[in-house]
Amino acid sequence: MVGNVLLLQIVLLLLIDTYIYTSVFRTTQRFKPFLKNLVRWGIWGLTAIAIGVVVWYNFTDPYYKAMSIRQWVIIIVIMIYGSKLLMLLVIFIDDIQINARRLIRFLKSRSKEKIPGKPITRAEFFDKTAMVAGLVPFASMVTGILSGATDYRVIKKTVYLPNLPNSFDGMRIGQISDIHAGTFFNKTAVKGGVEMLMKEQADVVFFTGDLVNYQTDEVEDYFDVFNKIRAPLGVFSSTGNHDYGNYRKWPSAEAKRKNFQDLLTAHRLLGYDLLMNENRLLESGGDRIAIIGVENWGMGPPERFPKYGKLAEAIKGTEDVPVRILLSHDPSHWDAQIRPEFPGIDLTFAGHTHGFQVGIEVGKFSWSPSQYIYKQWAGLYKEGEQYLYVNRGFGCIGYPGRVGMPPELTIIELKRG
């Protein structure tokens, strides 16, 4: 069965590249010999890489130590053939109009009508357009990996809370989310991102989940980076959907349980106060505010987006506190449960969406495929007297890069008013 599927995959790749090669061959006719050979052989070189990856994918254990490597090579194939499919679309559209015109000429010739002009061939314009259609997204995705993934940005917002105690007026909250340590490949750049956050001198820092991609040991090489995150009032954290080990197969239920226990230990070793459906009270000048944290609660299939968050349990003891701030990884929790059932939650911090890691943000205009999945997908939202902030994420998942959606470090200043 595997052999038949593999053969079908290889044939499909060869058919796509053969069709594309006809256009590349014509477009490169006038190129200098070196460039001509580079482009033509490059097409088949990428095909050979893709076929090698497909073979490897079908005959290796996907849940062994090669998981991170496996993810990278799969992404490379997607990048290559995502770009080639755009080329294919342009060529195909041109072929439709060419063949339509040929059919008309044929029908006219059958009627013995004299047909002036040269034989119909593909316009050089379309061949060049097809190459550009493939090269631009491919180049963008490569750039997104090499520089976009670590092009950290600090985004600052002010939130006005009418019940904010005077002692906390002006408090600066730092937020980092979705670290996804298993995707990192440039430790120096990651250190730079953490240093950017520390330079903001936040009074308190929140980490809103997804420390890893698949399993806890991914973060081991980065303990000495993320344990540098410190704040005078503490660093508080919550869990995300990727932290539970639900995205890989385990040899036993016990192995999965141990992985999650290791995750809890990792937060402790990093110096983060992990809030598992519980709260902490911050005190200053005789005033208090509550920091509440819940386990992941997300909309969707529970095996991928677990609903472990127990907000009713987490808020116990905070009923008389004037301001309550919540850490909840998935922003879908806000509309589904927080707003309708817990109007006393003043400000919620979330992450999860990554802004899809692809988008456009210019001035007040913002667009991302993420908005077709999540109503609140990036930035600050307000409904009534309740606020939600959705962080665009520090790391990556799946595609190990970012295009037009830089990784984010957030600073929220609380003001009374």
pLDDT by residue (tens digit) across 319-369?
Answer: 999 999 999 999 999 999 999 999 999 999 999 999 999 999 998 899 999
Same domain, 103 and 208: no
Same domain, 217 and 251: yes
Please write the tens of the pLDDT for every residue from 228-279.
999 999 999 999 999 999 998 899 999 999 999 999 999 999 999 999 999 9
Same domain, 336 and 378: yes
Instruction: Give the DSSP H/E element, type plus range, for residue 265.
Output: helix 253-270
Q: What is the pLDDT at residue 71?
A: 66
Which range of 15-19, 101-105, 366-370 scores highest in mean pLDDT? It is 366-370
Q: Which amino acid is at 100?
A: A
Q: What is the pLDDT at residue 89?
A: 75
Lowest average pLDDT, out of 84-93, 161-170, 171-180, 184-193, goes to 84-93
Listed residue (39, 44, 330, 53) closest to 177, CA to CA: 330
Residue 26 has pLDDT above 90, yes or no: no
Structure tokens at 270: 């990093």
Q: What is the mean pLDDT of the chain?
A: 88
Same domain, 185 and 139: no
- CA dist 166 and 160 (Å) reads 12
pLDDT tier for residue 20 given thresholds of 50, 70 and 90: confident
pLDDT tier for residue 285 given thresholds of 50, 70 and 90: very high
pLDDT tier for residue 393 given thresholds of 50, 70 and 90: very high
Q: What is the pLDDT at residue 130?
A: 65
Same domain, 287 and 393: yes
- CA dist 134 and 143 (Å) reads 15
Same domain, 253 and 271: yes
User: Within 13 Å of residue 72, how many CA atoms lie on the same side as its CB?
Assistant: 10
Same domain, 197 and 276: yes
Listed residue (271, 210, 273) closest to 237, CA to CA: 273
- CA dist 121 and 66 (Å) reads 48
pLDDT (mean) for 60-64: 51
- CA dist 378 and 376 (Å) reads 6
Lowest average pLDDT, out of 43-52, 174-183, 199-208, 316-325, goes to 43-52
Instruction: Give the DSSP H/E element, type plus range, for residue 331.
Output: none
Residue 128 has pLDDT above 90, yes or no: no
pLDDT (mean) for 10-38: 80
Distances (CA, A) of 187 to 34, 178, 194, 226: 37, 16, 11, 11
Q: What is the pLDDT at residue 139?
A: 79
Residue 387 has pLDDT above 90, yes or no: yes
**DSSP 3-state of 404:** coil
Q: Which of 146, 179, 195 is the last residue of a domain?
A: 146
Same domain, 315 and 411: yes
Q: Which of 107, 131, 146 is the last residue of a domain?
A: 146
pLDDT tier for residue 28 given thresholds of 50, 70 and 90: confident
**DSSP 3-state of 387:** strand
- CA dist 292 and 236 (Å) reads 9
- CA dist 349 and 356 (Å) reads 18
Q: Which residues contact 284 (CB under 8 A, 6 or more apart)?
A: 165, 167, 168
Q: What is the pLDDT at residue 35?
A: 85
Q: What is the pLDDT at residue 204?
A: 98
Q: What is the pLDDT at residue 383?
A: 97
pLDDT (mean) for 391-397: 96
- CA dist 195 and 155 (Å) reads 15
pLDDT (mean) for 61-90: 66
Q: What is the pLDDT at residue 3?
A: 65
Residue pair 409/226 in contact (Cβ under 8 Å)? The answer is no
pLDDT (mean) for 23-27: 76
If one compares 377 and 32, the residue with the highest pLDDT of the two is: 377
Listed residue (92, 88, 84) closest to 50, CA to CA: 84
- CA dist 337 and 348 (Å) reads 12
pLDDT tier for residue 121 given thresholds of 50, 70 and 90: low
Same domain, 138 and 235: no
Residue 67 has pLDDT above 60, yes or no: no
Kindly write down the DSSP assignment for every residue of 363-380, as one continuous string.
Answer: TTEEE-GGGGT-SS-SEE
Domain of 182, CATH number, reads 3.60.21.10
Same domain, 239 and 378: yes
If one compares 285 and 63, the residue with the highest pLDDT of the two is: 285
358 DSSP assignment: B
**DSSP 3-state of 33:** helix
- How many domains is the chain built from? 2
Residue 137 has pLDDT above 80, yes or no: no
Q: Which of 95, 116, 146 is the last residue of a domain?
A: 146
- CA dist 162 and 402 (Å) reads 37
Structure tokens at 11: 């044939």
Instruction: Give the DSSP H/E element, type plus range, for residue 321.
Output: none
Same domain, 269 and 374: yes
Q: What's the domain range around 243? A: 153-416
Same domain, 62 and 188: no
